[in-house]
Amino acid sequence: MAQGVNEAVDLSTAELAYLGDAVFELMVRDMLLNQNVPFGALNRRAKAYVSAVAQAGMYHKIFPGLSQREQAAIKRGRNLHNVSRSKNADVSAYRHATGLEALFGHLYHNGEMERLMEVFAMCVEEIEQ
């Protein structure tokens, strides 16, 4: 966990998105393992959550329920000029997915674990509807 280890370190938006990508995927994997998803289906099920298109949908669904500070973090990630491109999503979806990842990185880096879990639950709800 970043908070407490390097409290004085400020991360760039790109670094927060990088961190948030890993945090989000770990949360998805943990959730699927706790749901006793058969091993052979884990990657297929995870893709329903970690694809750029799915994350862009989550972005739009959760945005109104975020605080102003969280909205600022997610917008900074969305507006980040990425060098890489998704193979399976358009530029808009990829940018929104990056925004969601930046939010997860922001919450994790600041040690806001309870809020991180709340936001993750909102994201899961979007996919499971």
Q: pLDDT of 94-127, one tens digit each?
A: 899 999 999 999 999 999 999 999 999 999 987 8
90 is catalytic: no
Contacts of 83 (CB under 8 A, 6+ apart): none
Domains and CATH numbers, the chain: 13-128 (1.10.1520.10)
Mean residue pLDDT of the chain comes to 89
Other beta carbons within 10 Å of 113: 12
Q: How big is the chain, counted in residues? A: 129
Distance, in Å, from the CA atom of 86 to the CA atom of 114, rounded to the nearest integer, reads 30
